[in-house]
Amino acid sequence: MSLVIRQATPADGAAVAQLNHLFNGVPADAQGVAARIERCTATERVFLAEVDGLAVGFLSLWLFPIVCYPEPYAEVSELYVCEGYRQMGVGTALMREAIEVARVEGAAELKVNTGFRNTAAQRLYTALGFENLCLHLWTRLGGDMEESTEE
């Protein structure tokens, strides 16, 4: 097995679109993803894992300057490996690449979010030295939003 981790380019739009669809269920056309890869290069880097030339996983690293701290903010927002390639070191290799890029770019820490039930990912992150930091909350924007009754 020949594993290569590399930064995605707009030419990889179809591969990233397919992998993201498998992971998040978000349908996207290759041209749209390619345009977003190009547009987001200053704040987000996407890395592809290829086994014998086939794209089998991806990682999205947010890395950008912020006002409140001198170091850039770094977060892994997406990590996906195709089912047939799990437990083969692909996810670990993608994470090690993200850790190294964040470190070289001057980030003091790297954050990652995962689902409460995603115990396989939690084991990976823990093995790489990550610790449980906080509860991460979210809401969808747009549409009807209920008003809070709490003051």
Task: Give the torsion sign (CA, 2, 7, 111, 108).
Answer: positive
Q: Check residue 82 and report its DSSP letter.
A: -
Domain 3-127 part of CATH 3.40.47.10:
no
Confidence of residue 149 (pLDDT cuts 50, 70, 90): very low
Q: Are strands 54-64 and 44-51 parallel, antiparallel or unpaired?
A: antiparallel
C-alpha–C-alpha distance, residues 61 and 76, integer Å:
5
- pLDDT tens digits, residue range 104-121? 999 999 999 888 899 999
pLDDT one-digit tens code per residue, 18-40: 999 999 999 989 999 999 999 99
Residue 97 near residue 110, CB atoms below 8 Å: no
Residue 133: predicted pLDDT? 85
What residue ranges do the domains of the chain occupy? Answer: 3-127
The predicted-structure confidence for 41-78, as pLDDT tens digits, reads as follows: 999 999 999 999 999 999 999 999 999 999 999 999 99
